[in-house]
Amino acid sequence: MTEAFHDKQFPNETTEYRERRNALLQSEMDLRQRIEEVAALRRSLPLGGAPPEDYAFEEEIADKTVTQVHLSGLFAPGKDTLLLYSFMYPPDAEAPCPACTALIDGLDGTAPHLMDRVNFAAVARASIQKFRAWADSRGWRNIRLLSSARNTYNRDYFAETDLASQLPVMNVFVKSTDATIRHFYATELLYTPSEGHPRHADLFWPLWNLLDITPGGRGTDWLPKYSYD
């Protein structure tokens, strides 16, 4: 009999189930500890390099006027951290990546809570008008949208290949007390060798974590879609 970690027993569970579940629970406890250790290592990173320029992004404000906002202007007073998600929407595409869309569908609800502590925006190479129209069609209300159509941000921060293919990357920037901006973190698992999907966005994508606690898991041939019958 494996060690019991608590005194709960669910209705009609067998001894075999409880023994196997306790063994799994030990693994989950070990994983939780490892996740916390990795998070601590992440927080202890030294600051990376300064951006090569103060990128000018395009943004559509309330009256549909298109305006420019620089990277430095994305830091609200009192918030020294900025998360920028590179959303896969090529300039000439009719529609963006379905997976990126599913991710932002979820993060739109999280955004108000997140932005109480940090700055956050999604960046696409498509024009701001196309990006805004797509957001409206999805019912997004809280995500700040930016277009990098007129700058090299995507290329510089490896969210675009040499062939102009778009990549889904989360980058984190920090603004110091002297207003200097430095790169802090990127989801670099995207670029490392892996079998199948690199799963670089798992930490902030609840969809996959929910599927992982089901008997069928993620499956091998299912991917998010724009809509479902």
Separation CA 72–CA 80 (nearest Å): 10
Alpha-carbon distance of 87 to 48, in angstroms, equals: 22
CB atoms closer than 10 angstroms to residue 152: 12
The fourth-level CATH superfamily of domain 56-189 is Glutaredoxin (3.40.30.10)
pLDDT tens for the chain, residues 1 to 229 = 567 789 999 999 999 999 999 999 999 999 999 999 999 999 999 999 999 999 999 999 888 899 999 999 999 999 999 999 999 999 999 999 999 999 999 999 999 999 999 999 999 999 999 999 999 999 999 999 999 999 999 999 999 999 999 999 999 999 998 999 999 999 999 999 988 888 999 999 999 999 999 999 998 889 999 999 8
Query: How far apart are alpha carbons 177 and 34 in whole angstroms?
Result: 32
Task: Kindly list the domain boundaries of the chain, sorted by start residue.
Answer: 56-189
What does the block give as tokens for 219?
Answer: 């499956």
- Cα(170)–Cα(174) distance, integer angstroms: 14
| Degrees to nearest 5, angle at CA 158 with 165 and 166 | 20
For residues 185 and 174, give the distance between their C-alpha atoms in angstroms, rounded to a whole number: 9
Place of tokens 């797509």: 134
What is the value of pTM for the model shown? 0.94
Q: Which of 159, 134, 152 is nearest to 60 (CA)?
A: 134
Question: Which of 49, 6, 12, 53 is CA-nearest to residue 148?
Answer: 53
